[in-house]
Amino acid sequence: QWQGLNELREKFLSFFESKGHTRMDSASLIPQGDNSLLLINSGMAPLKKYFLGQATPPNVRVTTCQKCIRTPDIERVGKTARHGTYFEMLGNFSFGDYFKTEAIEWAWEFFTKVLELPVDKLYVSVYEQDDEAYDIWIKHIGVAPDHMTRLGKEDNFWEHGSGPCGPCSEIYFDRGPEKGCGSPDCKVGCECDRFVEVWNLVFSQFNSDGKGHYAEMEHKNIDTGMGLERLACVMQGVDNLFEVDTVQNIMQHICRIAGITYKEDPKKDVSLRVITDHVRSTTFMVGDGVTPANEGRGYVLKRLLRRAARHGKMLGIQEPFLYQVAETVIHENENAYPELAEKKDLICKIIRHEEESFAKTIDKGTELLNMFLDRVSSDSLSMLSGADAFKLSDTYGFPLDLTMEIAAERGIKVDEDKFRELMEQQKSMARADRASKVKTSWSNESIADISAPKTEFVGYTQMSCGAKIL
């Protein structure tokens, strides 16, 4: 049965409230009191302090829908059906309270009773050594053994250096052979889009010393994560994340601006999905207080905006347009994330400003890059020189990975080492120069430029859920 993304979010959160969980707001995308992470990438990340016992949660059972950014997935965005750099992660958490049996029972109840997903389409993976979880699925829940897979550490053991860690169990939805790679060996764990991982249940039961010793913890935790867009994709029976109701409206806006129709040209469809994704991630990032900069989060933002702008060019869009699409992103999400509506003008201004500054150089830069690449091809050189890549970055504002991506489209590599060496040289020169001048960073200037009200950036000091910073 068709269900909208907003409705699904609410169903999940209220289901877990009915199981004694306290609903908490999504935290900011900017990690609070945690330097190990650039941007929040899972529902669990902002709750780490509770798992580590550094703070007390409002309840031992919590449920959230968390905004997430995963730039490591950037290459797959628009190409797979299931990856975005931005997505929402639904989760239920137990801080030393319930464990495997309840986590599995409730996940199954939500899927088969609340959403009425057909059991024959559901597949489950467990960590190869986790007989306990395997038995719960088979004996207690009654999943057919041929719908169970045991996977290795890479897929089904959650571990991040030392500290709490443990096996996981994933629930997959079979979208049918027509959505898959067609290989006779295609099964759960295949990279293709037939069996889509929808929900990951992490049983954090060990404390690792980081050297291969695992001690069973006294207070075991549950941390689960389900991609809301992936769930909506399954429930709406659409091809990919970008065809989900609220996301589709954003893509349609881009189609109108470009004067094209989705599903007429597969190459343009990739660009449409990339732009849709990147406007979503950047709108939320700016909404949480990230501004364009040359390093850190600000650089991630800049890189995403410039990559989106380039895909806009590939669709023949000549004028800055991302800031207009951002309005649709805000419109589609402001009910769930009221901070977007509050900061609407600021978000659009910052995106527009960044777009305009890249617009001045993108055409010349692209032309120059193509010339460099022609030369590499005709002289049968092995790669684009670091100096050329540096010039593109320094003079035309092409982030290295954008240059690398365009080069890779023509099968050409870039001399990254030399590029980084030149970048370092320039940085140390700039440092020496700055020491003698008044300090004004690029991002401060641009903010002043567009007269952003300073008080609006609560994201740095305050979590949206109202929790205090440690």
| Site residues (vs ligand ATP, CB under 6 A) | 70, 73, 82-84, 87, 89, 197-200, 225-227, 229-230
**195/396 with CB nearer ligand ATP:** 195
CB of 157 to ligand ATP, least distance (A): 11
DSSP-assigned states of every residue in 89-150: EEEEEEESS--HHHHHHHHHHIIIIIS---GGGEEEEEETT-HHHHHIIIIII---GGGEEE
Look up residue 71 and give its two tokens.
């730039």
Residue 199 binds which one of Mg ion, ligand ATP, none, with CB within 5 to 8 A depending on kind?
ligand ATP
Residue 198 binds which one of ligand ATP, Mg ion, none, with CB within 5 to 8 A depending on kind?
ligand ATP
CB of 335 to ligand ATP, least distance (A): 21
CB of 259 to ligand ATP, least distance (A): 29
Query: CA distances (Å), 170 to each of 133, 164, 205, 234, in order?
Result: 11, 19, 17, 15
Long-range contacts of 175-179 (CB under 8 A, 24+ apart): 175/234, 179/81, 179/239
Q: Which residue is nearest to Mg ion (CB)?
A: 200
Q: Which of residues 212-241 bind Mg ion (CB under 5 A)?
A: none
Residue 353 binds which one of ligand ATP, Mg ion, none, with CB within 5 to 8 A depending on kind?
none
Residue 230 binds which one of ligand ATP, Mg ion, none, with CB within 5 to 8 A depending on kind?
ligand ATP
Cα–Cα distance for residue pair 432/389, rounded to 1 Å: 24
Query: Under DSSP, is residue 293 helix (H, G, I), strand (E, B) or coil?
Result: coil
C-alpha torsion 11→15→16→20, nearest 10: 140
**223/339 with CB nearer Mg ion:** 223
Cα–Cα distance for residue pair 383/399, rounded to 1 Å: 17
Residue 159 binds which one of ligand ATP, Mg ion, none, with CB within 5 to 8 A depending on kind?
none
**74/369 with CB nearer ligand ATP:** 74
CA 303 to chain centre: 14
**68/402 with CB nearer ligand ATP:** 68
Residue 227 binds which one of ligand ATP, Mg ion, none, with CB within 5 to 8 A depending on kind?
ligand ATP
Cα–Cα distance for residue pair 128/136, rounded to 1 Å: 14
In the DSSP assignment, the letter for residue 340 is H
Query: CA distances (Å), 460 to each of 85, 385, 453, 464, in order?
Result: 21, 39, 15, 10
Q: Which residue is nearest to ligand ATP (CB)?
A: 227
Q: Does 200 bind Mg ion (CB under 5 A)?
A: yes
Name the residue type at position 387. Answer: A
Query: CA distances (Å), 426 to each of 194, 212, 229, 357, in order?
Result: 48, 42, 42, 21
**158/321 with CB nearer Mg ion:** 158
Q: Are strands 122-127 and 86-95 parallel, antiparallel or unpaired?
A: unpaired
Q: According to the 3-state scheme, what is the secondary structure of 73-88?
A: HHHHCCCCCCCCCEEE
**70/311 with CB nearer Mg ion:** 70
Q: Does 41 bind Mg ion (CB under 5 A)?
A: no
CB of 351 to ligand ATP, least distance (A): 21
Q: Does 149 bind Mg ion (CB under 5 A)?
A: no
**92/200 with CB nearer ligand ATP:** 200
Residue 48 binds which one of ligand ATP, Mg ion, none, with CB within 5 to 8 A depending on kind?
none
Cβ proximity of 126 and 167 under 8 Å: yes
CB of 189 to Mg ion, least distance (A): 8
Residue 229 binds which one of Mg ion, ligand ATP, none, with CB within 5 to 8 A depending on kind?
ligand ATP
**169/464 with CB nearer Mg ion:** 169
Q: How many residues bind Mg ion (CB under 5 A)?
A: 2
CB of 168 to ligand ATP, least distance (A): 7
Residue 105 binds which one of Mg ion, ligand ATP, none, with CB within 5 to 8 A depending on kind?
none
Which residue do the tokens 């991609």 mark?
Answer: 227
Cβ proximity of 32 and 46 under 8 Å: yes
Binding site for Mg ion (CB under 5 A): 197, 200
